[in-house]
Each structure stands twice: as C-alpha cells, then as structure tokens.
Amino acid sequence: MIDVSAIPMEEHVRFMRLALEEARAAELADEVPAGCVIVEPTGDGLSADARILGRGRNSVEAAHDPTAHAEMRAISEACRARGDFRLDGTILYVTKEPCAMCAGAIVLARIPLVVWGMSDPARGGQSVFGILDSEALINRSAVVDGVCGEECLEMMRGFFRARRRGG
C-alpha cells in the first residue's frame, strides 16, 4: 500500500504537470482537455526515477468511442507495460475527477491512489457515486484532490468558453 502522507505535494504537482501536458494535447485536437498519467513509484515514495507506465488523453471524438477517456487510455497502456491488469502499487494522476466508468476501471485495475486536479461534483465517480472507496467493493483507492486544481479548472472552463463562442 502506498503511504499517501509520505509523498510530498511537490511530487504530486510534478506528475500532475505531465497529466496537464496530455490535457493540452487533447485540447489541441479539439477534445475535452483531460489528461492522465500512471506512475509506478520506486522505494517508499516518488522519486526522479519513478516509472511512467501509461499516459492518456481524451480522444472520444477522434476515436468515435465513448470509452476513450484519458484514464481508460492510460490504464490500458499501463497494463500493457506491466503485462498484467493489476496496477497495484501505482498512482494515477488525472486533471479531472474520474467519471463513474473510469472510477470503476480504476478499482478493477487495483490502483491504490488517485490524484486529481479539479473535482466534478455533478458527475464525478467519487463525488456522486463514491466508487473509489465503496465498502461494497473489494478494492478501494485513496484520493488526493485539488492538485493544480485552479489550472485544471481554468483549462476546462476556457475550452468550454471557446466552444460556446464557436471557436
């Protein structure tokens, strides 16, 4: 199990910046700007040599696939990298709170820690449904929220502002 308290906030910020890069790439492709990275820590916490197992960005429009969310893409890539569907001991960083579908996949992949930027109190898999720490499930994920939250929120707001203006 990952000791959440042992990971300094600056390490969370460092990996959230990588998720933000994925979100920017999604936005440039005219996709909702959500990005994700899955990290395998070395030793007791994160360090410079932590391994990135998977990256993902929203690609729903391009893939014509409603499941092509950033988290789903990153989970698939991480599972291929590990050669196993079990991603225990990893940390998932995502710019926006996972939806119910993605939260379910996170639990099934046994990812013990999820770090997100902006919460989604209207549709979030944790905020609305409590999936990540549901006592009804065998596997649960701890959560750290609000990492680079303002930056993540502003990116999302800017994207939808531009869409409403037709840009």
Q: 3-state DSSP call for residue 8? A: coil
User: Out of 11, 22, 27, 71, which one is annotated catalytic?
Assistant: 71
Q: What are the φ/ψ torsions at residue 99 (nearest 5 degrees)?
A: -75, 180
> Please, which residues have CB within 8 angstroms of residue 152's CB and are 6 or more apart in sequence?
16, 20, 23, 95, 96, 116, 117, 118
Question: C-alpha angle with apex 148: 142 to 154, nearest 5 degrees?
Answer: 125
**Residues 37, 55 contacting (CB under 8 angstroms):** yes
**Residues 96, 154 contacting (CB under 8 angstroms):** no
> Please, which residues have CB within 8 angstroms of residue 105's CB and are 6 or more apart in sequence?
71, 72, 75
Is 71 a known active-site residue?
yes
Active-site positions read: 71
